[in-house]
Structure 1
Amino acid sequence: MKSMKNLWGGRFSKSMEDYTADYNESISFDNILYKHSITGSKAHVKMLAKQQIISNEICEEILRGLSIVEKKIENNEVEFNILDEDIMMIIEKELTKEVGEAGKYLHTARSRNDQNALDETLFLRDAVKNSIKHLIDLLDVLINKAEEESHKIMPGFTHLQHAQPITVGFYYMAHFQGLRRNVERFRELLKRLDKNPLGSCALAGTTLPIDRFATTELMGFSEPTENALDTVASRDNIAEYLFNAALCMTHLSGFAEEIIVFNSQEFNFITIDDSFCTGSSIMPQKKNPDIAELARGKSGRAIGNLITLLTVLKGTFLTLNKDYQEDKEALFDSIHTLDRTVFIFARMLENITFNEDVLRAHLKKGFIEATDIAEFLVKHNIPFREAHEIVGKLVKYCELKSKTFQDINKEELKELDFPVEIEDLSQFTVENCIKNRNSYGGTSYDDVKRQINNAKNFVAELKSLF
C-alpha cells in the first residue's frame, strides 16, 4: 500500500498507510462542524491578541483568512483529504494557504482536544434550539387538534381493552404532556451547554496568559468550564441529547402505534389523509400508514445511538481517547432523525380526523361506564371495594344476558341486590361520564379546556424564547 504523509509527523519516522489513514479519519462526517469551528477560532485569536500573545496584525490576518476559508468550504472549494483527519486540521491547513506564516499562530494555547469540545458544544447548542423549535411546532398542532375535536368522545384503554370514556381533546393533551417534558429536558440541557470548554487545551490548561472569560463572552457562554481534565473527557452533553432524542422518539413511537391501530379496519377510529399513506405493489385496495410506521421504526435508530455512545464511554480512561470520535455519527444521526420525525409527525397529525360515528359505536362495547356506577355507589356511603364487587356482578349479568347497562330495568336491579333504589341505569351515559369526571387533570370538558389554556401559555412562552 502507498504510504501517506501525516500532518503531525514531526515526532514520527514513518507515516500512516492509506488504509490506516482511512480508518482513522473523521473528516468525512465532522466537516459539518466547520462553521462552529471557525466561530471558535475567531474568538480564540481575538483573545490571543487581547492578551498580547499574538500581535493585532497577525490576529487581523487570521480573521481575514478564516472568513475566506469559511466561504471556500461553503462553495465546495476545499478538498477534504483524509490525511488531514478532521475539520479542525483542514481549516488550519487552508488558513495557512491563505495567509501564510500568520496561520501557524492559530493553534497557540489550544489543543484539538478543547477545540473539538468547543465545536461540538457550539453545534449542539444550535441543534438543541432547533429541535425545540420543531417540538414547539408539534405542540402547536396538538393544541389545535385538541380544540378542534374536543367534543368527540372515544374509549380510553388499559391493556388495549375499553376502560373509561375520554374525549379526543383529552387524548391529544395527554400526548402534549409527554412532548412538553421532552422540551423541558432539552431546555435543561441548554443550561449545561452554557459553559465554555475553550482554554482547557490538551487536558491541563496552558502556561500562556490566556483569558477564558474573554472567549466566554465572545461566544455567548455564561462561564468557562471548571476543570480542564473533565472538560476534555466529558461527552455528557452529547449523551444527554441522545437520551432526550431517544425518549422523545419513544414517545412518538407509542403515539405512532396508536395511529396505526386506530387506522386499522378493526378499529377505524381515524382517517389519515392519503398524502401520508402508501399503497401496495400487488393489492390494489391497500392504504398503508407508512409514515406512522416509519416514525415507530426510527425510534430504534435513536435508542441505538444512545446505546452506542454509552458503550463507547463506559470503560474509557481520563482524559481523551480516540474512542470519542464515535460520538459524532451517533449524534448527527439522532439530530437528523428526531427533527425530521417531529416535523413530519406534525404534518401528519394536521391531516388526521377522528371518525365520530365509529367512536360512538365502539363506546357501546366493554361496559365503559362501570367505574362511574361504582363511584355512584360510593357517594351513597358504600365502601368502594363492595361497590367494585357489586358492579362486577352487574357486568357479569349483562354479559350472560347479552345486555348493556342501558338495557337493565328496576326489577333486574332489585334481583341483583343493587343497594340504591333507582329506576334504571340510564343516567350513566358516556356524556355524563365525561361531564362528571371533573377532578383536576381529568377528562371533563371544563378541565380539558383548562389544560388547553395552560398548554397555550406554555407554548407562547417558548415562542418568546426560541
Structure 2
Amino acid sequence: MALWGGRFEAGVAQVTQEFGASLPVDKHLYRQDIAGSKAHAKMLAAQGIISQADAESICSGLDGIGADIDAGKFTFDINDEDIHMSIESELTRRIGEAGKRLHTGRSRNDQVATDTRLGCKALAKELMEANLHLRQVLIAAAQKYSDVILPGYTHLQHAQPVLFSHHLLAYAWMFTRDFQRLVAAFDAADASPLGAAALAGTTYPLDRQMTAAELGFSRVIPNSLDAVSDRDFLLDLHYAGSVMAMHLSRLSEEIVLWSTSEFGFITLSDSYSTGSSIMPQKKNPDFAELIRGKSGRVYGNLAQLLVTMKGLPLAYNKDLQEDKEGALDTAHTLMQCLSVMAGMIETWTVNEDAMRRECSVGHLAATDVADYLAKRGLPFREAHAVVGHLVLTCEKRGCNLEDLPFEVFQEASPLFERDITEALDIPSIVAARTTEGGTAPAAVAEQLSSAQEQLSLDSARLSELTPVVEMGHGAN
C-alpha cells in the first residue's frame, strides 16, 4: 500500500498508478532527495524530536542507498510513485522503525520543493560552467584572428568592414549576459522551503535555519504557502536557458551561412560535419543546424511551465509534478549545444582570403566617403546623397568605388581631393573606428581585455556558488 494509503480501502488502478507516477523523472533528483532527508533527520535529532541514534541510522541508511544508486545497483519500482517514496520505503526496509520516523514534521510538498530547488541550483551551476568554457573559446578565437577583416552586415547586405574578432566578441558579450541570468536563476532557487510541511507549517519545533544551512541554502522562504507552491525559480532557469538558446541559434545561423560555398568564410572540421547519402560532395553543417533547431525545444519547455502555473491556486497542486521534466531537458539540451558549439569553433578553419575578397565588393567604403565630405564642411545628408550617386555610377559601370577615376569624384563634389583614396582603403576604414566598442584594432584590444576580465570575475563568482548538491547519474 502507498505511504498515504491509510485513508483508502483500495489501491489505485495500475493505469492511474503509472499515469500519476513521477518516479521516471524525479529519480534524477535522488542526490537532492537524500541530502534533504539527511538534513531533516539531523535537525529532528537536534530538536529532540527523534533520537540521535535514529538520526545516525537514517543518515547511514541513506548514504548506502545513495551509493547503490550511484553505482547503478538500485532498482526503482514504479509502484513507489516518486523518488521520495522510493527512497523512504527502501530506507525502512533496510533500517526498520527508524526509517518510519524520518517523515516526522515533513510533507512531500516541502520535500519535493526542496529537491527541485537543489536540483535547479545544480543545473544552473553546470550551465554556468559550460557557458564559461564557450566564452573562453570565443575569446581565444578572437585573439587568434585579431587582424582578420570581414564584411559587417545589416539586412544580410554588405554594410561596413569589421574585425572578425569584433564579431566574435559580440557573441562573447551575449553569453556573458546569459551567465548573469543563470546567476539570477541560481540565486532565486537558493532559498529553503523545508519545514513548510504541506502548506501551513507544523506543530513540531523544527529549526528551518538549521536545515537551510545544512543544505547550503542562503536563506529560508518566509511564507509556508509560497514555499511549497512557488516555481518562479524554475521559470528563471527556463528564461535564462531560452535566451542562451537564442544566442546559440543566432551564432549557428552565421556558421551555416559562413560555411556555404557562397560565403566560404569558414570550413568546419570533419568531426563537426556530416555528409549526404546520395551526394558524395556534400559537407553539411548539421550540428549547427541542430543547435538552431533545438532552440524551439528549449522555448517549448518555458512555455509549458508558464501554462502549467498560470491557473494554480495556492498551495500545492498535482500539476506541479510537471515542473521538473522540462527543466532537466532544457539543461541537458543546452549542455550539449554549448559543448558542440565550443567544439565547432575550436576546430574550424577560418578562410581569411574569402573574407578579404568579400570586403572588396558591396561598396563597404561608402559611409567613409560620406564622412570624408562631411568633415570638409558638407552637411552629412548632402554628403550621403553625393555618395549614393557615386554608388549608382559604380552599379551602372559594374565597378567598385575604388575603381572610379578621380575625375568622377571631383565631378560629384569639388571637396574631393587626391587623398580620397585613403578613405577607400579597407584596413584604414577599420582602423579609424576608435570609439569605445568600435571595430578598430586598438578598440577591440581594449574590449578583448574587458571580456577576459569579466570572464575571470564570473569564474570567481561561480566558485563562490557552493556548496551545491551535484546532479547524480546513477538513476539513468
Shorter-chain-normalised TM-score: which range?
A: over 0.9
User: What are the residue-to-residue correspondences of 1:228-377 with 2, within 5 Å?
Assistant: 228-377=224-373
CA contact (8 A) 1:410 1:424 kept: no
- For 1:419 and 1:242, the matched residues in 2 are separated by 59
Partner of residue 213, structure 1: 209
- Partner amino acid, structure 2, of 1:137: H
Are 1:423 and 2:383 an aligned pair? no
CA contact (8 A) 1:30 1:328 kept: yes
Higher relative contact order (CA 8 A, sep 6+): 2
Partner of residue 382, structure 1: 378
SS of residue in 1 equivalent to 2:361: coil
Partner of residue 7, structure 1: 3
Corresponding residue pairs, total: 461
Are 1:222 and 2:247 an aligned pair? no
Which of 111, 124, 130 aligns to 1:115? It is: 111
User: What are the residue-to-residue correspondences of 1:96-245 with 2, within 5 Å?
Assistant: 96-245=92-241
- For 1:282 and 1:194, the matched residues in 2 are separated by 53
What are the superposed Cα offsets for residues 223-273 of structure 1, whole Å, 9 maximum, x if unpaired?
101111111111111111111111101100110011001100111111111
User: What are the residue-to-residue correspondences of 1:36-55 with 2, within 5 Å?
Assistant: 36-55=32-51
SS of residue in 2 equivalent to 1:119: helix
SS of residue in 1 equivalent to 2:420: coil
Partner of residue 31, structure 1: 27
Residue 89 of structure 1: how far off its partner (Å)? 0.7
- For 2:426 and 2:220, the matched residues in 1 are separated by 59
Instruction: Give identity over the alignment, percent.
Output: 43
Are 1:450 and 2:436 an aligned pair? no
CA contact (8 A) 1:143 1:172 kept: yes
- For 1:234 and 1:433, the matched residues in 2 are separated by 54
- Give the TM-score normalised by the residue count of structure 2: 0.95
- For 1:419 and 1:17, the matched residues in 2 are separated by 91
CA-based RMSD:
1.2
- For 1:458 and 1:356, the matched residues in 2 are separated by 29
Could you tell me which runs of 5 or more consecutive residues in structure 2 were left unpaired when the two chains were aligned. Answer: 464-476
Residue 336 of structure 1: how far off its partner (Å)? 0.4
CA contact (8 A) 1:408 1:424 kept: no
SS of residue in 2 equivalent to 1:83: helix
CA contact (8 A) 1:7 1:83 kept: no
CA contact (8 A) 1:189 1:237 kept: yes
- For 1:78 and 1:271, the matched residues in 2 are separated by 47
- For 1:174 and 1:77, the matched residues in 2 are separated by 47
Residue 7 of structure 1: how far off its partner (Å)? 3.0
Partner of residue 17, structure 1: 13
- For 1:78 and 1:146, the matched residues in 2 are separated by 48
What are the superposed Cα offsets for residues 416-446 of structure 1, whole Å, 9 maximum, x if unpaired?
2x14131263112111111001111010000
- For 2:349 and 2:371, the matched residues in 1 are separated by 33
Partner of residue 397, structure 2: 401
Partner of residue 60, structure 1: 56
SS of residue in 2 equivalent to 1:427: helix
What are the superposed Cα offsets for residues 158-213 of structure 1, whole Å, 9 maximum, x if unpaired?
11100110011001001101111000111122222221111111111111111111
Could you tell me which runs of 5 or more consecutive residues in structure 1 were left unpaired when the two chains were aligned. Answer: none
SS of residue in 1 equivalent to 2:422: coil
- For 1:245 and 1:421, the matched residues in 2 are separated by 52
- For 1:91 and 1:314, the matched residues in 2 are separated by 32
What are the superposed Cα offsets for residues 132-156 of structure 1, whole Å, 9 maximum, x if unpaired?
1111110000010001011010001
- For 1:166 and 1:267, the matched residues in 2 are separated by 16
CA contact (8 A) 1:378 1:387 kept: yes
- For 1:412 and 1:34, the matched residues in 2 are separated by 77
Partner of residue 470, structure 2: none
